[in-house]
């Protein structure tokens, strides 16, 4: 059952990416709303709880909720799926002209990806590209201190 839900989420994330790509070309207000609703729906499915419940949790608790009753690999995959959803949501917000919300979603995605990347060699290999992409899209001066510290730790662990 969990495997079916993960397959569903990955298919829907692919649909969301296509919607975002279309939005980048047209900036259609109805399309923006549709894409945001899909993103929120997928986040709710990923957490198996209403957004009001998981959004008020600190990031570490969100990660625990995503990883609960999962193998280490499945937990990492769910966390990186969440980071991907947040990255797409950030793009939607940017298209909508809400750069503040876009930056917040990217920073949350970076926070989640860094938690994965700092959780051992397998996590670093899997999350590394996501971390680098998100870090490049954010102003380092605007990062919250815990995220900035995790990013510095992640980079210090990387081979030169």
Q: Please give the Cα distance from 45 to 59 (Å, whole number).
A: 17
CA nearest neighbour of 87 among 114, 108, 73, 61: 108
Q: Please give the Cα distance from 146 to 107 (Å, whole number).
A: 11
The pLDDT tens digits for 35-52 are 888 888 888 988 988 888
DSSP-derived secondary structure letter, 104: H
Q: Could you tell me the two tokens for 85? A: 């959803």
Please state, in angstroms and as integers, the Cα–Cα distance from residue 76 to each residue in 2, 98, 125, 131, 159, following that order: 14, 29, 11, 14, 22
Q: Could you tell me the two tokens for 53? A: 């419940």
Q: Is the model's pLDDT at 22 over the cut of 80?
A: no
Q: Is the model's pLDDT at 25 over the cut of 80?
A: no
How many structural domains compose the chain? 1
Query: Could you give the 3-state DSSP secondary structure of residue 48?
Result: coil
The pLDDT tens digits for 93-133 are 998 889 999 999 999 999 999 999 999 878 888 899 999 99
Yes or no: say if 9 and 45 are a contact pair by the CB < 8 Å rule.
yes
Element housing 92 (H / E): helix 72-95
Domain with 68 in it: 2-157
């Amino acid at each position: 059952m969990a495997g079916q839900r993960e397959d569903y989420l990955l298919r829907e994330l692919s649909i969301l990416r296509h919607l975002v790509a279309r939005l980048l070309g047209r900036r259609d207000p109805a399309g923006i709303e549709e894409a945001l609703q899909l993103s929120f729906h997928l986040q709710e499915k990923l957490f198996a709880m209403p957004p009001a419940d998981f959004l008020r949790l600190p990031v570490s608790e969100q990660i625990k909720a995503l990883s609960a009753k999962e193998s280490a690999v499945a937990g990492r995959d769910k966390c990186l799926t969440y980071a991907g959803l947040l990255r797409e949501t950030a793009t939607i917000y940017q298209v909508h002209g809400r750069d503040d919300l876009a930056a917040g979603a990217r920073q949350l995605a970076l926070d989640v990806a860094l938690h994965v990347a700092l959780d051992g060699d397998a996590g670093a290999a899997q999350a590394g590209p996501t971390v680098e992409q998100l870090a490049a899209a954010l102003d380092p001066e605007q990062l919250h201190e815990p995220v900035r510290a995790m990013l510095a730790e992640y980079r210090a662990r990387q081979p030169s």
